Amino acid sequence: MAFPYKKVLILGATSGIGLAFAERLVQRGLFVIVTGRRKENLDNFVQKYGSDKAAAVTVDLSKLDTLPGFAQTIKESHPDLDCVIFNSGIQRRSVFSEAEDINMDVIVQEMTVNYLSYLSLTKEFVPFFKPKDNPTAFIYITSGLALVPLLRCSNYCASKAALHQWILCVREHLKKFNIKVIEILPPAVQTELHDAKHQPDIVNGRSIGMPLEDFTNEAMDGLLRGDEQIPVGQSKLSFDTWEQQRQEIFHNWIKAMGLQP
Ligand SMILES: NC(=O)c1ccc[n+]([C@@H]2O[C@H](COP(=O)([O-])OP(=O)(O)OC[C@H]3O[C@@H](n4cnc5c(N)ncnc54)[C@H](OP(=O)(O)O)[C@@H]3O)[C@@H](O)[C@H]2O)c1
């Protein structure tokens, strides 16, 4: 099955998973709008592939009040946009037995970038996708840690769990429109997420998890199959067992109560 979308906005495409998706999609002939804070990385991408195949827009997703304006700029410049990949994210240590080291500004930033900014931008793009006749999609990158948390990054896990729970509802909310809601749940992947510049207590963070290329292959296979939920690697352990049972209860509630919220 082909990827049915033609123009994709990728949040957080300056490194890691977002950059890997940007590369794969532009190589498949899609037009890709790459975003993030690091302008140099974005400009390098456009220079590499050409402005007929890619565009770059800088954005800081922690600044929630700027996001409606950012979305408006994208919608005006790219009226044919049909897919948004919500991928940007940060992970920080948050161990509450060391409460004196918890910085609430960092907690708020993590929750804002990983969760609230996704809601804000989904709110901006739903009315834009709703009237389209062609297929459109929101693709959200959560984490296996949305299902089973890790002690060292409790707030990160909570932000991803919140996102996962919210996505289940949004998929149902948008079912009557031509808007597909897809979730990818990565396991640990070798990217900058665990680098010492972000998490100084981790030694050799770049070697943690699955090689980026293997992850991207598996995730792309899921996207090309048209799957709505794509657990990759270790994330399948919990997804294929009790998470399926939990979602069965969710769908039984919908059957019993109907889709009207
Ligand atoms: N790597 C893993 O083990 C793993 C596992 C499960 C899930 N994930 C998820 O996968 C996604 C991608 O992470 P990654 O592993 O590829 O890490 P990464 O290499 O650190 O990439 C993170 C991306 O998010 C962007 N970002 C961070 N803060 C931002 C902000 N305030 N405004 C705009 N963009 C921001 C970064 O761009 P700038 O810095 O240029 O702004 C970068 O492009 C994240 O949601 C992460 O939680 C990763």
In order of their start, the domains of the chain are: 7-257 (3.40.50.720)
Q: Which two tokens stand for residue 42?
A: 């974005």
Confidence (pLDDT) at 185: 98
In total, the chain counts a number of residues equal to 261
- Test site for ligand 1: of 17, 194, 197, 232, most ligand atoms within 8 A of the Cβ: 17
State the closest ligand 1 atom to the C-alpha of 188, by its place in the atom list counted from 1. 3
Mean pLDDT (the chain) is 96
Backbone φ and ψ of 221, nearest 5°: -60, -45
**pLDDT digit string, tens, across residues 134-155:** 999 999 999 999 999 999 999 9
pLDDT at 39: 98
Distance 256 CA to ligand 1 centre (A): 38
CA–CA gap between residue 52 and residue 147 (Å, rounded): 40
User: From ligand 1's centre to the CA of 62, what distance in Å?
Assistant: 13
Atom of ligand 1 nearest to the CA of 142: 7
Q: What are phi and psi of 110, to 5 degrees?
A: -65, -45
The predicted pLDDT at position 228 comes to 98
Q: Which atom of ligand 1 is nearest to the CA of 198?
A: 20
Q: What parts of the chain have a pLDDT lower than 50? A: none
pLDDT at 260: 61
The Cα–Cα gap between 171 and 243 comes to 16
Q: In angstroms, what is the span from residue 133 Cα to ligand 1's centroid?
A: 32
Strand order in the sheet with 179-185: 54-58, 31-36, 7-11, 83-86, 136-141, 179-185, 229-231
Instruction: Pull the structure tokens for residue 100.
Output: 């004196």
Q: How far is CA 156 from the centre of its chain?
A: 14
The protein residue with its alpha carbon nearest to ligand 1, atom 34, reads 36
pLDDT in tens, 25-54: 999 999 999 999 999 999 999 999 999 999
From start to end of the chain, where are the E strands?
7-11, 31-36, 54-58, 83-86, 136-141, 179-185, 229-231
Provide the pLDDT for residue 259: 65
Could you report the per-residue pLDDT of 94-107, keeping only the tens digit for each? 999 999 999 999 99
Residue nearest to atom 19 of ligand 1 (CA): 16
Centroid of ligand 1 to alpha carbon of 230 (angstroms): 18
State residue 235's pLDDT score: 96
Cβ atoms of 132 and 180 closer than 8 Å: no
The pocket around ligand 1, CB under 6 angstroms, is made up of: 12-18, 36-38, 59-62, 87-91, 113, 141, 143, 186, 188-189, 191-193, 209
- Say which residues have a Cβ less than 8 Å from residue 31's Cβ, sequence separation at least 6: 6, 7, 8, 53, 54, 55
